[in-house]
Structure 1
Amino acid sequence: MRIGIVNDLSIATEALRRVLARRPDHRVAWSAASGAEAVACCARDTPDLVLMDLVMPGMNGVEATRRIMAESPCPILVVTVSVGANAAMVFEAMGHGALDATDLPALAGDHDRGADKLLAKIDLIGRLSAAPVRASTPRAPVQASERKLLAIGASAGGPSAVARVLEGLPADFSGAVAVIQHIDEKFAPGMADWLGRYSRLPVRTANVGDTLQCGQVLLAATNDHLALRADGRLDYVHEPAELPYRPSVDVFYKSVGEHWRGPIVGVLLTGMGRDGAAGLRGLRQQGHHTIAQDRASSAVYGMPKAAAELDAAVEILPLDRIAARLRDLFVPNPNAIP
């Protein structure tokens, strides 16, 4: 892979160069010391991947990510000194299309472990990049007497897209909500807290043994796949181990299609690759309502594009219309506490 490095510290740039030098199939395309320089470099020479710092003078990594994805789109991996300390910026960058985030490998101490983790992230993005990538009559609104589930899948660009959808749902929303976002388990608790700032519904990470409850949002929270068991409780499963998407939207959609006793609305948002498309088609074939985000409003038009190609979506909608459609589909529960 040809990789661009964006970091204002020369010592950090050199550390990243040394990590990449461990792999003969990786080479540095260019390095930039500021966000503005990175935008210009991408416009002039778009690489296979950008390693993007967040905190830089002038244009920071969030704005640089937004500009690059708008003008010269390419895969972006956030690499910064402390992902945890900059969680809000990480989710903003992912909302603009960054695929993942990881800490900068330690310049001293356990450098090898950090380097191996970074290379593993790069390998995963390489696999996703190499992966191959219509509306019809809407189903009737879900009735208030039925157990209802809203299942949302997202990847690159997902955090802000999910936040927009949750922000538009009322406090008396009559369904249970599950969110499957491709994100490292290290960042899942922070993302749940961050989404909670936008949602009128409580948001937390899903634990083994949880049940999906009306008026609550559960977020998949490990590098294994979230799945619904036959007894109606949630579990994390390692298989299929070969899937590069973790946690997988397809695995969750398949499990709820098999075990959820009630109507499901599946929503597939922005993301790279094809995860969720086959699962969404399976839900549609079972008679459930399915929605895919449209091209114009997607930060990365991969997963919803794959869903459209498979005719998996009953409706293809811009992001700013999805929450309103969900309010129409889920009849409010008159017994809900305001």
Structure 2
Amino acid sequence: MSTATDARIVVADDSSLMRRIVANALEKEGFTVVGAAADGDEALALCRRHRPAAMTLDLTMPGLDGMGVLRELRSNPAHPASGVPVVVVSAFSPVHGARAVDALAEGAFDLVAKPAAGEPLSSFVCELGDKVRAATASRRPRLTGIGNGHLKRPAAPRTPRRVGGPAARPASRTARAVVIASSTGGPRALADLMPKLPARLGAGTLIVQHMPAGFTASLAQRLDRASRLSIVEASGTESLDPCLALLAPGGSHLRLAEGRRALLSDAPPIGALRPRADLTIVDVAAAYGERTLLVVLTGMGRDGLDGAREVKRRGGRVLVEAESSCTVYGMPRAVAEAGLADAIVDLSELPQAITQEAGA
């Protein structure tokens, strides 16, 4: 439950109409909008004055734009607003999509697509509320104090695990199909992880990152430029290939059809998610059995949990990102606390662990 301080939000957008829409949506979700800015300089000034729990940020504004705000917050730790988590609220176009992905790389907490003309506002209100709520929660300490100031972590998950290092297992002689699932914080985690993986990985790689429709092509392009693996947004015609990583398009489920070929589905969202990682994971586990490697990265919610159960049922392997490096320890926690993780690994150690587990 948020406190009054936790609920204080600054909204930044150059459109007065969009400022009203975002502010009304946040107030419906129980937040208090303490300031609304029409440009980046005003947004920083409002954050300095009010010390909000989070800020929503448009990227295209006159003067100092949204990217300028993020860079100021990242480059100037002394700024009073430097610790304010930012949820980008952006319209989609090819240019906006690339800028939104850049914003996530610059430290934005998450991304919400602006509602298109004629679309109902209900889903936008719900998504915005969930992501701003997660942003405010991300500022709360993960450690709990005891006694004379010593700190300890919350109770450990039930699953046996090794934290901060690769899975203690010899390299596989059999190539595994790799599925990577991520949500909030995922673009930054993927930007760190993917360039450190080899040009050939297992039997092929599928990535499910929760993002709005239209933005994933820009994410795939950005990751591809930095990586030895070829990374593309799936079109639904590709076969798994050791040199290729397929990224699920926002707005479509990524399935694996007969013959181990990618298939895109416009079936309804599951738990408000499309793509849903569980669907992809279950398909891969059915096709590859014990030759499946699931990697669950940072993210809100429990997507990946049902898939992890199926991977383990069929004898596959599961790695999850450690809380120490997660933006949001939600999806990995759900898998770990269900006793399904073979190892819990800090993001810095995941490239080695994945390479070892994926085999050749």
Aligned pair 1:17/2:20, yes or no?
yes
**Once the two structures are superposed, what CA deviation does each residue of 1:61-103 show, in whole Å capped at 9, x if it has no partner?**
4347868998455xx5312466642444422433535332425
Aligned to 1:206: 234
Aligned to 1:141: 171
- Look up the SS of the partner of 2:259 in the other structure: coil
Amino acid at match of 1:319: L
Distance 1:69 1:315 in 2: 36
Judge conservation of contact 1:6–1:13 (CA < 8 Å) in 2: no
Identify if the C-alpha distance between structure 1 residues 25 and 97 changes in structure 2 by more than 3 Å, giving closer, same or farther. same
Match runs of 1:241-320 below 5 Å: 241-260=269-288, 263-320=291-348
- Look up the SS of the partner of 1:29 in the other structure: strand
Aligned to 2:110: 99
Aligned pair 1:54/2:59, yes or no?
yes
Shift of 1:306: 1.6
- Look up the SS of the partner of 2:223 in the other structure: helix
Shift of 1:290: 1.0
Q: After alignment, is 24-33 or 167-176 more displaced?
A: 24-33
Among the aligned pairs, what percent are the same residue? 25
Judge conservation of contact 2:27–2:33 (CA < 8 Å) in 1: no
Shift of 1:129: 8.0
Shift of 1:57: 2.3
Instruction: Give structure 1 stretches of 5+ with no counterpart.
Output: 106-110, 333-338
TM-score by length of 2: 0.73
Distance 2:336 2:172 in 1: 23
Aligned pair 1:122/2:152, yes or no?
no
Judge conservation of contact 2:252–2:265 (CA < 8 Å) in 1: yes
Aligned to 2:223: 195
Judge conservation of contact 1:102–1:118 (CA < 8 Å) in 2: no
Amino acid at match of 1:17: R
Distance 2:281 2:343 in 1: 17
Judge conservation of contact 2:252–2:274 (CA < 8 Å) in 1: yes
Of 78, 98, 114, 2:88 maps to 78
Aligned pair 1:322/2:350, yes or no?
yes
Distance 1:306 1:69 in 2: 32
- Look up the SS of the partner of 1:296 in the other structure: helix
Distance 1:287 1:22 in 2: 45
**Once the two structures are superposed, what CA deviation does each residue of 1:117-165 show, in whole Å capped at 9, x if it has no partner?**
665333234467899xx4447555321xx44211101111111211221
Shift of 1:282: 2.6
Amino acid at match of 2:110: L
Q: After alignment, is 61-70 or 207-216 more displaced?
A: 61-70
Distance 2:310 2:263 in 1: 21
Shift of 1:5: 4.1
Number of residue pairs aligned between Structure 1 and Structure 2: 313
Amino acid at match of 1:90: A
Judge conservation of contact 1:232–1:260 (CA < 8 Å) in 2: no
Of 239, 262, 283, 1:234 maps to 262
Amino acid at match of 1:300: V
Distance 2:27 2:129 in 1: 14
- Look up the SS of the partner of 2:178 in the other structure: strand
Instruction: Give structure 2 stretches of 5+ with no counterpart.
Output: 135-158, 162-166
- Look up the SS of the partner of 1:156 in the other structure: coil
Q: After alignment, is 246-255 or 50-59 more displaced?
A: 50-59
- Look up the SS of the partner of 1:31 in the other structure: strand
**Once the two structures are superposed, what CA deviation does each residue of 1:155-185 show, in whole Å capped at 9, x if it has no partner?**
1111121122111112233431111000122
Distance 2:108 2:332 in 1: 14
Shift of 1:317: 0.8
Amino acid at match of 2:306: A
Amino acid at match of 2:56: L
Shift of 1:32: 4.7
Shift of 1:274: 1.4
Q: After alignment, is 192-201 or 223-232 more displaced?
A: 223-232
Aligned to 2:151: none
Amino acid at match of 2:88: V
Distance 1:186 1:3 in 2: 30
Distance 1:128 1:102 in 2: 12
